[in-house]
Amino acid sequence: MAFVYKIVAADEWARAQERGVFEGSTVDLADGFIHFSTAAQVAETAAKHFAGQDDLLLVAVEARDCGEKLVYEVSRGGALFPHLYAPLPTALARSALPLQRRADGAHDFAGLLE
């Protein structure tokens, strides 16, 4: 199984679960797609876009469950990043786990990635 990951504020995810669908964060909505990361990319994504933030969740979705609306596109440094061009049904989330920070302030992904 290949998973893609979305870092999302816990309150945003809670609202999405009430509706049954995650439309995206403010940045996602502005860009026209939901930004995901692979397991190899997610720590860098956290450091670049979520540094110092608490109350975050790491949402894991099996890539194949997103269908053809999940597209890998060139982004940071030429790497291919997964972008979802559709709302995400929250039922597709295999997990939504709290993303803690280590003593050095960086987010701790130990035991969270498949």
Every domain of the chain and the residues it spans: 3-99
The pLDDT of 51-65, averaged and rounded, is 96
Q: What is the mean pLDDT of the chain?
A: 94
Contact 83, 73 (CB under 8 A): yes
With a cut of 70, say whether residue 102 has pLDDT above it.
yes
pTM here is 0.94
Strands 80-84 and 34-35: antiparallel
> Phi/psi of residue 93, each to 5°?
-65, 120
Confidence of residue 98 (pLDDT cuts 50, 70, 90): very high
Kindly state which CATH superfamily the domain 3-99 is placed in: Protein of unknown function DUF952 (3.20.170.20)
